[in-house]
Chain A
């Protein structure tokens, strides 16, 4: 089994929930989110991956964006959660916790 490939696929699969949780802490822009994720072990993504995910979440109405001037370049595009995004995130987090519990029960042999 190609472990690296599995990890990459897992990270990509988790991108939506990671991005929404990051935005749950407050508005942020793509570059900032990438830098934050780079500092968190196991969540390092390919930097360009964040932009298509943000665009899709925006099309789905889970995040919204606005521009703010930047001191070191063109205006920054900031993203923030919408009400629908907040609800989706709560649901996703609940589901994620359930997956963790289920996986743990399999690993420990309990509840089978």
Chain B
């Protein structure tokens, strides 16, 4: 049987925190603080490996979800599920923990769906596309109990809702979730009104045609306002926050720095280039700021926003890679010039690692819905 639904939600913050902890662990190890490096590094590796994504899949009458690469997973046979609904409440934290009503499995964000079992037990699955997951689970349940046409309709409906969701994500309207729910209910109503002889592929396509192209949703929801506007994604806010932290730490430590700052090192770790104190201390943060501003502003210019939207995941990865590399470089400059002779090759390793992780993500993302 084909996979009816599969989606992976990335945990960007866990990746960043994991990499930072791994780096700290490596540095602690390099300085011989033996007992400390192991727990710090282990937590970092654990966060990175198991926290970089949460995948939910519906396949062969089973709902299955897992963190990271899928070494451990949880399965729920569809026959045990009564129904699925949006999580009502406030979500705090990542990983697996207890919330009133049931266990929460969450990798990022504050959205989840509640799966209610026929036994009355509940579980909450974190996701960045709750409405589509609800539709997929509920459709899979009804498709299991229903006939072949119900399954066909579920596929047609899910495909349309996914395209509407993509169109609405470009408009970034605060009520996109509610619109999707209403459109889903509308489609269900249309399906319910079809006679037994009308439940054919052609009739389903006719309904979809009458609903209108998904692109019109974005156009109509934004009216005459510019879409995107001044709203920032969580990732963008995190990167801007990091930028402020780097500037703040650099300014705080500035008086303790020598007049000439080491900014480059040779292959064997020996200093190879010096700069005046202001340039050495603030050069990297300024370059970082320019890149971040460019990456945040360019997608919001009207002429390219539509194309950039399709490229958003690539762009998000680029922001993360820039942040990690710039953080590592500034960190090396500050520590070395404070007299803590860190190994500059660590910066190279971190930068190359970040780029490799980003490329792996891109490859993974390119295939995730296949």
Contacts and interface: CB of A to CB of B under 8 A. Distances in A.
Contact of A59 (B174, B190, B210, B212): B174
Interface in B191-237: 192, 210-213, 216-223
Contact of A46 (B175, B176, B190, B212): B212
A52 B179 contact: yes
Contacts of A48: 164, 183, 186, 211-212, 216-217
A104 interface: no
B189 interface: yes
Report, as a range, how many residues of chain B touch the other chain. Answer: 20 to 34
Contact of B220 (A47, A53, A58, A72): A53
A56 B223 contact: yes
A55 interface: yes
Given A30-B186, A46-B212, A52 B217 contact: yes
B192 A49 contact: no
A73 B221 contact: no
B121 interface: no
Q: Which of B183, B185, B218: most chain A CB closer than 10 A?
A: B185
B138 to A, nearest CB: 10
Given A48-B211, A49-B216, A56-B223, A74 B173 contact: no
Contacts of B178: 55, 77
Given A46-B210, A47-B210, A56 B220 contact: yes
B182 interface: yes
A46 B223 CA distance: 16
A90 B244 CA distance: 49
Given A15-B220, A72-B192, A47 B186 contact: yes
Given A46-B211, A56-B223, A73-B189, A51 B174 contact: no
Given A56-B222, A59-B173, A59-B175, A77 B212 contact: no
A86 B183 CA distance: 26
B60 interface: no
Contacts of B213: 46
Contact of A55 (B190, B212, B216, B221): B221
A52 B211 contact: no
A31 B216 CA distance: 18
A101 B198 CA distance: 46
Minimum-distance CB pairs A-B, first 7:
A46-B212, A52-B221, A48-B211, A52-B220, A55-B175, A48-B212, A52-B217
Given A52-B218, A73-B192, A77-B178, 7 more contacts: A46-B211, A51-B186, A51-B217, A55-B175, A55-B178, A56-B220, A77-B182
